[in-house]
Amino acid sequence: MMNLLHDYECGTSDHFSRRTLLKTAGLSSLSWLTPMADVLATNAEKTPDLAKSIIILWLNGGPSQIDTFDPHPGKKIAADSKAIETSKKGVFVNEHLPQTAEMMGDISLVRSVVSREGDHERAIYNIKTGYRPVPGVVHPAIGSIVCHEMPRPNIDIPTHISILPGQFPSRGGFLGAQYDAFKMGDPTQPVPDLKARVGEDRQKARLESLEVVEKRFHRGRSETLAKTRTLHSDMMKQARKMMTSEQLDAFNVNDVPKSEREPFGDTPFGRGCLAAIRLVEAGVRCVEVTLSGWDTHVDNTNLTSERTKILDPAFASLIKSLKDRGLYDNTVVLCGGEFGRTPHLNPADGRDHWPHGFSMAIGGGGIAGGRVIGETDPNGEKKDPAGRINVQDVHATIQYAFGIESDRQIITPAKRPIKLSDGFVIDELL
């Protein structure tokens, strides 16, 4: 029996990335759960080309790489799925991604992502956090790490948002629940729990009554309790500030002109992508937009094409719009799911889970576009793709784009030092 976790080592000298070795001050930093806000605030001023936000288009269920970004046209494994050439000569994608194909100069494709997790729940954890699930610790998702490591923007709304969250939205893990993604649905609908249930007068009376009750609890307790520990009234104030903030407009796309909305497609996902742009524009650090339905164990080609038709206009318009607004250079866009799907069709014309070489699209925030990394076996036999990229490498690359030190170790509440990422930066994407 193999020891499967073996190549996932923790916190030892093996893990220095190439970047760290190049650094002049190679001191390993070991610090507590303190945001590096101050340090990074000055850094960000000096280096305006760093990423400031990230948008993750989460394709929940595990999209087939062959029917999206890695088509192998003409090969047996392509089955009846067709491909088109993109604006990058010689690079093909699925025929239902024509608009995305046009944007290929701005997006790179990593076609050789490899993981060891073939179960949805575990794989989602793995891709979102860059770590495999292990007992005793919950790793933070990439969006939570970005929010923790970057200075907090001066906004009334949450800095980490999940639009149309699936079953497992991004979580703050050991960084704390305050780094969990704020969950919202279709951006034409009101954001849940934001509207007071009673009129202004009654709300005022309720808050006055609350003050009366709060006094009793603080009797005989530390004077700093509310300010440093419960943070109850602070959270309440921030929540109330959010309830009446003008920045809430960014959540809602109802008032956006039709001409601006239409290119994204008339779907919740398309509207989610449009809202993501508006949220990033408002200063939000991480927005995750989920498109589910990629778990195509039966009738793969048809079911996947329905999904790609939703993805295509939304993804392409997202990039276009970010560029038009001058946001793309500071916004990383990542598109992918928890794993790929088997190269060969199963008897039900479906494709099953395949973590042994699948695709992710990435661009923006200083990450190069127009590149293709790695190559899967055109015959679908070999499990190890050429130019293999580990999941954690994608994380290290994203963190690098933000100027975040992946090697920085955080001491978890359980007193365990864990690096922000133990992957290597993908040089080809720089």
Q: Judged by CB under 8 A, which of 76, 221, 309, 325 binds another protein?
A: 221
Q: Taking CB under 8 A as the criterion, which residues in 370-429 touch another protein?
A: 413-416
The CA distance from 241 to 235, in Å, is 10
306 belongs to the binding site for another protein (CB under 8 A): no
199 belongs to the binding site for another protein (CB under 8 A): no
Distance of closest approach, residue 217 Cβ to another protein, in angstroms: 4
What are the tokens at 231?
């943070």
Task: Name residue, tokens 């759960």.
Answer: 33
The sign of the CA dihedral 190, 195, 199, 201 is negative
The CA distance from 323 to 341, in Å, is 32
> Closest CB to another protein among 11 and 98?
11
217 belongs to the binding site for another protein (CB under 8 A): yes
Distance of closest approach, residue 340 Cβ to another protein, in angstroms: 12
3 belongs to the binding site for another protein (CB under 8 A): yes
Distance of closest approach, residue 75 Cβ to another protein, in angstroms: 24
CA dihedral 367, 157, 405, 330 (to 10 degrees): 20
248 belongs to the binding site for another protein (CB under 8 A): no
Distance of closest approach, residue 368 Cβ to another protein, in angstroms: 32
**Which one of the spans 17-25, 94-102, 190-198, 399-407 is the region binding another protein (CB under 8 A)?**
190-198
> Can you list the positions of beta strands (E) in 243-330?
286-291
Distance of closest approach, residue 232 Cβ to another protein, in angstroms: 4
Distance of closest approach, residue 392 Cβ to another protein, in angstroms: 15
> Closest CB to another protein among 82 and 116?
116
Q: Which residues pair with 410 in a beta bridge?
A: 31, 418
The CA distance from 104 to 121, in Å, is 31
Distance of closest approach, residue 85 Cβ to another protein, in angstroms: 33
DSSP letter assigned to residue 29: P
Q: Which residues pair with 288 in a beta bridge?
A: 56, 162
> Can you list the positions of beta strands (E) in 144-269?
160-163, 182-184
Distance of closest approach, residue 74 Cβ to another protein, in angstroms: 29
Q: Judged by CB under 8 A, which of 18, 89, 215, 258 binds another protein?
A: 215
**Which one of the spans 139-147, 216-224, 320-328, 394-402 is the region binding another protein (CB under 8 A)?**
216-224
73 belongs to the binding site for another protein (CB under 8 A): no
The CA distance from 395 to 166, in Å, is 21
Distance of CA 325 to the CA centre of its chain: 21
Binding map of another protein across residues 144-173, x = CB under 8 A, - = no contact: --------------x------------x--
Within 8 A by CB and 6+ apart from 71, the residues are: 78, 81, 82, 83, 92, 93, 94
Q: Judged by CB under 8 A, which of 37, 41, 210, 386 binds another protein?
A: 210
Angle between the N-to-C axes of helices 391-402 and 120-129, in degrees from 0 to 180, rounded to the nearest 10: 30
202 belongs to the binding site for another protein (CB under 8 A): yes
Distance of closest approach, residue 202 Cβ to another protein, in angstroms: 6
Please name the helix (run of DSSP H) or strand (run of DSSP E) that holds residue 236, with its range, or none: helix 232-243
Please check whether residue 130 is in contact with residue 391, taking contact to mean a CB–CB distance below 8 angstroms.
yes
> Closest CB to another protein among 198 and 348?
198
Tell me which amino acid residue 382 is.
K
39 belongs to the binding site for another protein (CB under 8 A): no
79 belongs to the binding site for another protein (CB under 8 A): no
Please check whether residue 114 is in contact with residue 355, taking contact to mean a CB–CB distance below 8 angstroms.
yes
> Closest CB to another protein among 12 and 154?
12
Is 199 exposed, middle or buried, given 0-12, 13-18 or 19+ CB atoms closer than 10 A?
exposed
**Which one of the spans 1-9, 141-149, 343-351, 372-380 is the region binding another protein (CB under 8 A)?**
1-9
Q: Judged by CB under 8 A, which of 38, 193, 266, 384 binds another protein?
A: 193
> Closest CB to another protein among 355 and 369?
355
133 belongs to the binding site for another protein (CB under 8 A): yes
76 belongs to the binding site for another protein (CB under 8 A): no
The CA distance from 349 to 165, in Å, is 29
The CA distance from 341 to 64, in Å, is 5
What are the tokens at 148?
């923790």
209 belongs to the binding site for another protein (CB under 8 A): yes
67 belongs to the binding site for another protein (CB under 8 A): no
